[in-house]
Amino acid sequence: MVKVQNTDIYILVVDDTQTNREVMARILARRKYQNKLVANGEEALAAVAERLPDLILLDISMPGMDGFEVCERLKADERTRHIPVMFISAHDATEDKLRAFHVGGVDYITKPFKIEEVLARVETQVTLAIQRKSIIELSELKDQLLRTVSHDLKNPLHVIMGYSSLLMEGGYVTKPEDLTMMSRAIFNSAERMYTLVTNLLELSQIEDGAQLQMMPLSLTQLCADMMPEFELNAQAKHQTFTFQAPLDAVNVMGDTMRLGQVLSNLVSNAIKYTPENGHVFVTIQKNATDVQVCVQDNGLGIPPEAIPQLFDKFFRVNTTKHRSVEGTGLGLSIVKAIIEQHNGKIWVESELGVGSKFIFSLPIMAS
Ligand code: ADP
């Protein structure tokens, strides 16, 4: 999730006295909040329609529409009712304060006010607004997760239910090949579901900050140890596989199992998304302060518009060729989370129809 900063917060100030507006703008500028100043209720509603503020500081006595009415209108509208409104008024009567809360205000400051008090109260409302934003974001993410997971589990479940009910009824299996075909379809579907659930659990563990088993390790050695398995997988698709690394050990602080998972995901993607007879290269390059591992292929490549979302959960490139390859869209999110836990970086260079390079860099240990 993106961390919200004060500079992302937008506050609307509504006051008919120019000096008051200017004083308030200076106070808000101290905390680097974005702000807009307007002089009456009509302008306030127009400004809100143009851009939703995170907080409104609203004067009560204004010519035309007063602050109470502005607030009532905002609370009556589905799109604006969530915006917190703080009243700032010269009226000190309990009656006014009660009315301010009654129409939906969240706070009430009386003029003349103390700058520190205004800032403290604004900060409280901003913190609440940020928390509200995060909850909405999380809830949307949860809905998307549930939709995707249930969709991705439903298809294989249908296959399993369909074939197993045919098997139970008995009469449909007349040849041994039918039995083999049906059991294979059931197995493959169960395997797809298993992969999805395992990937999800792994990602949530990593995102929850599961402790890494950090130790000094030779990245060249780790890669070299995994190469025979990658070579076999590439050979099964008649692809050639090349591995190039410095002769000396390149040491990093890392979790062997997790970094192995990164390599395995990147190389298996390179093999999966490269047609038969293609080529997959893994190269390691040592620089002054970091080491870069590049997994390159001459396969399907990635369209430029897909690159910004490539490491997002469940994102899969939507071309017929990419879609024809089995996947969950979680591998690269796992890879990115692991690399970031190692204070590293990962990026991709790719051209559709030409091939891709996935490069990650890790800080090296001083020898
Ligand atoms: P998946 O399980 O779908 O492979 P990933 O998170 O590993 O999920 O990758 C996300 C998407 O990025 C893939 O669905 C695929 O469309 C694209 N992709 C990943 N690696 C490559 C590659 N080497 N070449 C082309 N496309 C790739």
Q: Three-state SS for 319?
A: coil
Side-by-side strand order, sheet with 355-363: 240-244, 279-286, 290-297, 355-363, 345-351
Indicate the pairing of strand 251-254 with strand 10-14: unpaired
* Region 8-12 average pLDDT: 92
Mean pLDDT over 238-252 rounds to: 94
pLDDT band at 4 (very low <50, low <70, confident <90, very high): low
pTM over 0.85: no
CA atoms within 13 A on the CB side of 238: 3
The per-residue pLDDT for range 25-72, each reduced to its tens digit, is 999 999 999 999 999 999 999 999 999 999 999 999 999 999 999 999
Average pLDDT over residues 238-262: 94
- The per-residue pLDDT for range 284-294, each reduced to its tens digit, is 999 999 999 99
331 lines ligand 1 (CB under 6 A): yes
Q: What spacing in Å lies between the alpha carbon of 80 and ligand 1's midpoint?
A: 40
Q: Which of 126-140, 178-192, 224-238 has the lowest mean pLDDT?
A: 126-140
Half-sphere exposure of 214 (CA within 13 A, CB side): 11
Distance in Å, CA 191 to ligand 1 centroid? 19
Which protein residue's CA is at the shortest distance from atom 16 of ligand 1? 317
Distance CA 202, CA 182 (A): 30
pLDDT score for 1: 47
Residue 273 Cβ contacting ligand 1 at under 6 Å: yes
pLDDT tens digits for range 159-218: 999 999 999 888 777 888 989 999 999 999 999 999 999 999 988 888 887 788 999 999
- Would you state the structure tokens that stand for residue 97, as one six-digit string? 């304060």
State the SS3 of 229-241. Answer: HHHHHHHHCCCEE
176-207 and 331-341 helices, crossing angle to 10°: 30
As a whole number of angstroms, the distance between CA 279 and CA 217 comes to 28
Per-residue pLDDT tens over the stretch 141-176: 888 888 888 888 999 999 999 999 999 888 777 888
Which long-range contacts link 316-324 to residues 24+ away (Cβ below 8 Å)? 319/352, 322/273
The pLDDT of residue 8 is: 85
Q: Rounded to whole angstroms, how far apart are CA atoms 319 and 311?
A: 17
Residue 189: which residues within 8 A CB-CB, separation 6 or more? 155, 156, 157, 159, 160
Q: Which atom of ligand 1 is nearest to the CA of 332?
A: 6
Residue 238 near residue 271, CB atoms below 8 Å: no
Q: Is the CB of 322 under 6 A from ligand 1?
A: yes
